[in-house]
Structure 1
């Protein structure tokens, strides 16, 4: 008997409904996946080849010898443990930059909960989930049986189907990652089976980014100058006292006036500092300064809606105006659930006739780092 090459045994091509496009069936066999044999086992589960945790803890396996760009990814998953099981694609070898889709499972799932699933990009090892509240959705999740997941990915857009293949459960109009292609990996304390990839099959999903509802809203503060990050230990404040009135100023050792550079808000009008400066080292805290100018025709008071992660100090013309924290998991975390959104806070902004310099200190220690800001009205104003 002539043995077939391992590659033929491991990856079977079949003609699909997409003309000349081929569906690649990926077997769950140890030869096909990078994995930790102490944590992962390849088994037969409910009559199909599958992979599961050996230890009852979350695992991570990465597909060998395949670079994914666009197409359809399908798989079955059975939930057996709590956590955030999901799939990474277009991933770097070290998984520090990737696109990530996952389901939250902590027992029976409410089919109407918009927190059931989420897309988030991974930048420099940071899962940007707390900066992408917009990219969540609901779905019916089955207990103790297979759930079928289908991802359709076309350059900047993605559609996700969960169990119901006739209804899009989550539509991502603009994938926010840094990579156009890369590896595929699976994570979680679950059982996976029936993985297939259909390269370049996109079901007519457009390649270009979809509509951004903030795009035409001129009330957003889009143009800022940003400083170089500095370390800010948890026992240190950014202000110091002075003997005259007013009695506080910004600590000049934390602000180098020569380090400013321009930064523009990106998709969803988010100032994404993780994209610019990378990950904050675990356990540390970093600070940057953002500044912009608002020119007002008259003395007036405007309302400023401000989303941020994780701490802000707002100054107007050098004077402190607002201080706040958005620590996820703490009783004082901002709605919604400690994520950075335009609904985090709203403050009065007293503007004088002429130029008004807005300076914001923004500190980060936990996951994504960024800010989004919008005025209630820009009538009679000229934004930088």
Structure 2
């Protein structure tokens, strides 16, 4: 098996030439356990913690400056307290805005979503889109002590071990389709408390390293699920509608087709990120009927939606994180419905989906 971890060290001074995708990143080098990490040195300190050398990080991303990863094994020990903290691994990064992400939620010890897999595409996270048992898992943490983390990546699959000899989470389908890219550590803490890393190891697969986890069974996709959508270029949210009517001329917008993910949800960020105030895309469906009739559309979205039928607003909602109560996550499912009064002949259904944080997604099924 070829070594799929590419090293780019210059032995004399342990520096490397960074590719054009990352050439504009201005950061300092931090040497730790024979690795060189690039990031903000104000938020990272090499020190001793609980009897061993450790890298204390209080926030940000820290890239391994001397390697890219395709398939391989990443191991580290991490120590943290029970504060509201997120930390983990960025891998196969094509750019600062496009990568695979595996992370732990320190404050959710033993909870069903203590750890998360998600792709980041066009700079937009997607945990509200990927929230089934193939993307989240419970994990048991030992606070203020060392927790063993091991990640095995092969092809489009990954096994993640946390204080366990069996996979804590198996990811059966890494979503970005990036084959190789940069590797990094990251963390964010609402309370500004640190995470300590130790015993870093990144290596190629050996014959003993295998993907052993299996995909969890998930509910069947809904009957009537719409599997492809016609999606517009992004527009500012405040230009979409006025006084309960659609303001935009949809014929002047550019459109692309987007297939849903394996869970039936369309990740709208795959077509575009958010630039300036352009945080909204339109989804257009033309419906032909030979008589006037009512149809029920079940749907889910994040973060906000406006649904227009023949130019008139028939539904508006906000399912953003914490927008309904302090525990509301905004994960996407077919949890809402609207009755559509269709006229004889052609009907234009336009859905405006706006994003702030956590996942730009839409799913729908006819019933």
**TM-score band, normalised by shorter chain:** 0.7 to 0.9
CA apart distance, 1:95: 2.5
CA apart distance, 1:219: 1.8
SS of structure 1 residue aligned to 2:67: coil
CA distance in 2, matches of 1:89, 1:261: 28
Can you list the C-alpha shifts for 1:249-306, whole angstroms capped at 9, x where unaligned?
31135x335633333223322222211012344xx35222212245668866554321
Q: Which residue of 2 aligns with 1:338?
A: 330
- After superposition, the Cα gap between the structure-2 partners of 1:273 and 1:298, relative to the gap in structure 1 and judged at 3 Å, is same
CA distance in 2, matches of 1:301, 1:132: 32
CA distance in 1, matches of 2:240, 2:256: 24
Q: How many residues align?
A: 333
CA apart distance, 1:331: 2.6
CA apart distance, 1:64: 2.0
Matched, 1:184 2:188: no
Matched, 1:133 2:131: yes
CA apart distance, 1:352: 6.4
Can you list the C-alpha shifts for 1:133-183, whole angstroms capped at 9, x where unaligned?
2221101111111111111211211121110112x2212121112521112
Q: Supply the RMSD in Å over aligned alpha carbons.
A: 3.4
CA distance in 2, matches of 1:147, 1:8: 34
Is this contact kept in 2: 1:160–1:170, CA < 8 A? yes
SS of structure 1 residue aligned to 2:211: coil
CA distance in 2, matches of 1:216, 1:362: 22
- After superposition, the Cα gap between the structure-2 partners of 1:330 and 1:271, relative to the gap in structure 1 and judged at 3 Å, is same
CA distance in 1, matches of 2:218, 2:149: 27
Is this contact kept in 1: 2:35–2:64, CA < 8 A? no
Q: Which residue of 1 aligns with 2:26?
A: none
Can you list the C-alpha shifts for 1:285-329, whole angstroms capped at 9, x where unaligned?
522221224566886655432111222122334443211112212
Matches within 5 A, 1:145-184: 145-166=145-166, 168-184=167-183
Q: Which residue of 2 aligns with 1:22?
A: none
Matched, 1:271 2:234: no
Deviates more, 1:194-203 or 1:272-281: 194-203
Matched, 1:72 2:73: yes
CA distance in 1, matches of 2:147, 2:181: 25
CA distance in 2, matches of 1:9, 1:63: 15
Q: Which residue of 1 aligns with 2:22?
A: none
Which has more radius of gyration? 1
Is this contact kept in 1: 2:234–2:274, CA < 8 A? no
Is this contact kept in 2: 1:303–1:347, CA < 8 A? yes
Matched, 1:114 2:112: yes
CA distance in 2, matches of 1:199, 1:328: 38
User: What is the TM-score of this pair, normalised by structure 1?
Assistant: 0.75
For structure 2, the residue ranges without an aligned partner over 5 or more in a row are 1-8, 15-30, 188-193
SS of structure 2 residue aligned to 1:141: coil
Is this contact kept in 2: 1:157–1:210, CA < 8 A? no
CA distance in 2, matches of 1:149, 1:259: 45
Matches within 5 A, 1:221-236: 221-233=226-238
Q: Which residue of 2 aligns with 1:123?
A: 121
CA distance in 2, matches of 1:270, 1:102: 22
Is this contact kept in 2: 1:91–1:182, CA < 8 A? yes
- After superposition, the Cα gap between the structure-2 partners of 1:59 and 1:352, relative to the gap in structure 1 and judged at 3 Å, is closer
CA distance in 1, matches of 2:364, 2:174: 22
CA distance in 2, matches of 1:319, 1:162: 51
Is this contact kept in 2: 1:90–1:181, CA < 8 A? yes
CA distance in 1, matches of 2:236, 2:102: 32
Can you list the C-alpha shifts for 1:28-69, whole angstroms capped at 9, x where unaligned?
24862223333211123333322013xxx3243221211111
CA apart distance, 1:225: 1.7
- After superposition, the Cα gap between the structure-2 partners of 1:301 and 1:160, relative to the gap in structure 1 and judged at 3 Å, is farther
CA distance in 2, matches of 1:212, 1:262: 28
- After superposition, the Cα gap between the structure-2 partners of 1:41 and 1:268, relative to the gap in structure 1 and judged at 3 Å, is same
Q: Which residue of 1 aligns with 2:32?
A: 28
For structure 1, the residue ranges without an aligned partner over 5 or more in a row are 11-26, 241-247, 377-384
